[in-house]
Structure 1
């Protein structure tokens, strides 16, 4: 079962891929990338000439003891990370 969140997170990346992130004051270490996809933002929903992209990663990460599955999103226009979904 998954839960939706949309929480801002701090992410460390290497070569454009997340390797660690902090969510709810816990450091999560990424073990494996399960999926990665890119969605172009709709130009009519943005106010500038570069609408940017939203990059998504579904991954396995460990907050210290139990590996879980998480979905992260990076918005290139705002340069911000969100934790979108977590699976129990």
Structure 2
């Protein structure tokens, strides 16, 4: 079962991939990247000449022995990270 969140998170990366993140005051270690994709933002909707892109990762991560799947998003225009979705 998946849940939508859209919560801001703090992320540490290595070679561009997330290796750990803080969500709701807990540190999650990324155990494995399951998928990664990039979506260009539509300049005609934002009115910006360079609206950037959104980079997504689906990862297995957890704050200890617990492991779940999470979808993370990085917005290159604003430099913001979000935890979009989680699976039990």
Note the 1:1-40 alignment, pairs <5 A.
1-40=1-40
Note the 1:38-49 alignment, pairs <5 A.
38-49=38-49
Task: Give the Cα–Cα distance (whole angstroms) in 1 for the partners of residues 86 and 34 of structure 2.
Answer: 13
What's the TM-score, normalizing by structure 1? Answer: 0.97
Show structure 1 runs of 5+ residues with no match. Answer: none
Task: Give the Cα–Cα distance (whole angstroms) in 1 for the partners of residues 62 and 5 of structure 2.
Answer: 18
Aligned residues: 88
Runs of 4+ in 1 over 3 A off after TM superposition: none
What's the TM-score, normalizing by structure 2? Answer: 0.97
1:13-33 residue CA offsets vs partner (Å, 9 max, x unmatched): 011100000000000000000
1:52 aligns with 2:52: yes
Show structure 2 runs of 5+ residues with no match. Answer: none
Residue 62 of structure 1: CA displacement? 1.4
1:61 aligns with 2:61: yes
**Over aligned residues, Cα RMSD in angstroms?**
0.7
